[in-house]
Structure 1
Amino acid sequence: MKRRNGFIQLTGLLTAVFLVGLYLALALSSSQSLSRHQALDGLVRELVFDMEMARQHSLGNNVGKDYCKLMLQEDRYVLQHRYRVKKKRPYPPGIRVTKGVVQFDVYGRPKYKMVVVVSSDVERYERRIVVAAQTGRIRIE
């Protein structure tokens, strides 16, 4: 019987293990990036939904002191009807939102803030929520 050297088999095995490890590392990093993007997009959709709710309330009920506004703070946003808090939502970690107040007049147009920027601290990924000045239409860019 002829004895074979196990060096070639060992090298092949190490190469295969290295390639599998490289593949798993790349897949894990892209899935983490994807989950951060999904968290940011989910927050943006929820903000738009709450802005639409405040706008609809202002269209029908903005007489006197019956108003609904969205206060964007450093670590959370608050949906407020008159002086009562209807909803508090903290931001996911690593996400920044421009501070300010979003409120609409009786015609559904924005009173103060027309652009809200939601961005990630970790990587360059951001979404803008734009409220049209004339029509009050809310869109995501």
Structure 2
Amino acid sequence: MRRNGFISLTGLMLALGLLLLYLGLGLTAGQRSRSHQAVDGLAREMALDMQQVRQRCVGNNQSNGRWKLVLEEKRYVLQEGYIRVKERPYPPGLQVTKGDVHFAVDGRPQHTMAVVITSPDGAYTRSIVVAAQTGRIRIA
């Protein structure tokens, strides 16, 4: 019984090609999901810290920037006056809008009303939006 070597070589090459295709798709999806998780995690933590700043301004009846969230190039800082209460560095490669987030006594934002967090490749973004009239903080 004779076998055709061309058919077995073609089948082997086809199987190897499919394996490489699946591995390639799996590796890029894994990288993408890690950067998405970093963006989502930072957005949730930053929104919670914004809510804390808002609660302190409303609850303590203090505005004019006493409690604020300072968005710097490589990290954000939660401040009470000049005292740094919390510093949180950004995950590597993420781009975040710079500015200060602080609230009036009635809970409305005074300066920055939106923060945009972007993944390193720029394909995935999350926005933290503060409503101008109510001060409600949401992640979009």
The answer to whether TM tops 0.5 is yes
**Pairwise CA distance, 1:99:** 0.6
Matching residue of 2:79:
80
1:35-93: CA deviation from partner (whole Å, max 9, x where unpaired): 11111011001110000011011111134889211000011100111221111111112
Task: Kindly indicate whether the alpha-carbon contact (under 8 Å) linking 2:57 and 2:63 is maintained by their aligned counterparts in 1.
Answer: no
Matches within 5 A, 1:1-141: 2-63=1-62, 67-141=66-140
Runs of 4+ in 1 over 6 A off after TM superposition: none
Q: Is the 8 A contact 2:104 2:110 kept in 1?
A: yes
Distance 2:63 2:47 in 1: 25
Checking the alignment, whether the CA contact within 8 Å between 1:69 and 1:80 is kept in structure 2 is: yes
User: TM-score scaled by structure 1?
Assistant: 0.91
The farther-off stretch of 8-17 and 48-57 is 8-17
Aligned length: 140
Deviation at 1:140, TM superposition (A): 1.3
Any gaps of 5 or more consecutive residues in structure 2?
none
Distance apart, 1:5 and its partner CA: 3.2
- Which structure has more relative contact order (CA 8 Å, sep 6+)? It is 2
- Structure 1 pair 66/95, CA: closer, same or farther in 2 (3 Å)? closer
Q: Which amino acid aligns with 1:45?
A: R
**CA RMSD, Structure 1 to Structure 2 (Å):** 1.7
2-side partners of 1:9 and 1:92: how far apart?
A: 49
What's the offset of the Cα at 1:29?
0.5
Deviation of 1:129 (Å): 1.1
TM superposition shift of 1:11: 1.9
Identity %: 56
- TM-score, normalising length from structure 2? 0.91
Gap runs ≥5 in structure 1: none
C-alpha displacement of 1:4:
2.2
